[in-house]
């Protein structure tokens, strides 16, 4: 199957700093990328949908200025957690799709990034 | 938007027994329903999916059934093995099919 790489796999930062997480599709062009947040023992909460070259679409309740998403190319999307605080500590995971419509079933996940804010 | 509910949240079975996980969805226009398996510390991976033009699909020990009228679909795992232990997520597409909404997940524990 297609490969999606996410980096870093884990990061520890001080409160108030910003952290950038990268999501790359290694062997296909990802028209659409998704960012999720996963709390312990909980589901994948969709944060935003990004399409290459356009602004991300955020889900209700997700702060746009807090979680900056950039999808500058067909193989790379980044999530920047700005001015991180302990409550932002979580597991962030991306997924990528080669198409705009997900019903093709082709949705590939990255390995996830565990963020710990001290 | 689409509302996906998944039950149970945890399921413990003896090796060799069957396991069933059920999901309901709200948008009657949804026509594609995947199931993902996430092992501890790993990424979710697609294990089986079903489209609305069929009522059941099987792949070895795994099957998915769909009831469009009742708007629910289920994952069935037969002859469970310890390596089936993981968290399973169902998903349904949004009304414009440009994203998925996931169920809350079911932690399956297969006891040897």
**Most B CBs within 10 Å, among A77, A105, A114, to test the B interface:** A105
Contacts of A32 in chain B (CB under 8 A): 98-99
Q: How far apart are CA A79 and CA A7, in angstroms?
A: 10
Strands (DSSP E) contained in chain A are: 4-7, 10-13, 19-25, 32-38, 44-51, 57-58, 67-73, 76-81, 90-97, 108-109, 113-117
Contacts of A4 in chain B (CB under 8 A): 43
Contacts of A102 in chain B (CB under 8 A): 32, 93, 97-100
Q: How far apart are CA B50 and CA B71, in angstroms?
A: 13
Q: Residue A61, by phi and psi: left (phi above 0), alpha (psi -120 to 50) or beta?
A: left
Closest residue in A to B40 (Cα) is: A41
- Contact between A102 and B32 using a beta-carbon 8 Å cutoff: yes
- Contact between A109 and B93 using a beta-carbon 8 Å cutoff: no
Closest CA to A108 of A81, A84, A75: A75
For A12-53, the pLDDT digits (tens) are 999 999 999 999 999 888 888 999 999 877 788 999 998 888
For A56-112, the pLDDT digits (tens) are 999 999 999 999 999 888 899 999 999 999 999 999 999 998 776 666 666 889 999
The band of A6, judged by pLDDT with boundaries at 50, 70 and 90, is very high
Question: What pLDDT is recorded for position A91?
Answer: 94
Cα of A14 to nearest chain B Cα, Å: 24
Q: Are strands B106-111 and B10-14 parallel, antiparallel or unpaired?
A: parallel
Contacts of A100 in chain B (CB under 8 A): 98
Residue range B79-84: average pLDDT? 97
- Contact between B93 and A49 using a beta-carbon 8 Å cutoff: no
The band of B79, judged by pLDDT with boundaries at 50, 70 and 90, is very high
């Amino acid at each position: 199957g297609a490969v999606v790489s996410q980096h870093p796999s884990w990061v520890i930062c001080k409160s108030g700093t910003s952290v950038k997480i990268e999501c790359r599709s290694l062997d296909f062009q990802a028209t659409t990328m998704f960012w999720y947040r996963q709390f312990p023992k909980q589901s994948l909460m969709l944060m935003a949908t990004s399409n290459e070259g356009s602004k991300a679409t955020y889900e209700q309740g997700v702060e746009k200025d807090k979680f900056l998403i950039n999808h500058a190319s067909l193989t790379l999307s980044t999530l920047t957690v700005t001015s991180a605080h302990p409550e932002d500590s979580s597991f962030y995971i991306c997924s990528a799709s080669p198409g705009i419509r997900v019903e093709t079933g082709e949705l590939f996940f990255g390995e996830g990034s565990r963020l710990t804010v001290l | 938007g689409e509302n996906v509910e998944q039950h149970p949240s945890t399921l413990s079975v003896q090796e060799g027994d069957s396991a069933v996980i059920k999901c309901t969805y709200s948008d009657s226009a949804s026509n594609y329903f995947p199931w993902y398996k996430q092992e501890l510390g790993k990424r979710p991976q697609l294990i089986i999916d079903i489209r609305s033009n069929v009522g059941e699909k099987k792949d070895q020990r795994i099957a998915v059934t769909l009831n469009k009228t009742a708007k629910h679909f289920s994952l069935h795992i037969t002859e469970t093995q310890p390596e089936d232990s993981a968290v399973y997520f169902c998903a349904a597409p949004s009304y414009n099919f440009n994203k998925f909404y996931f169920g809350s997940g079911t932690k399956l524990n297969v006891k040897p």
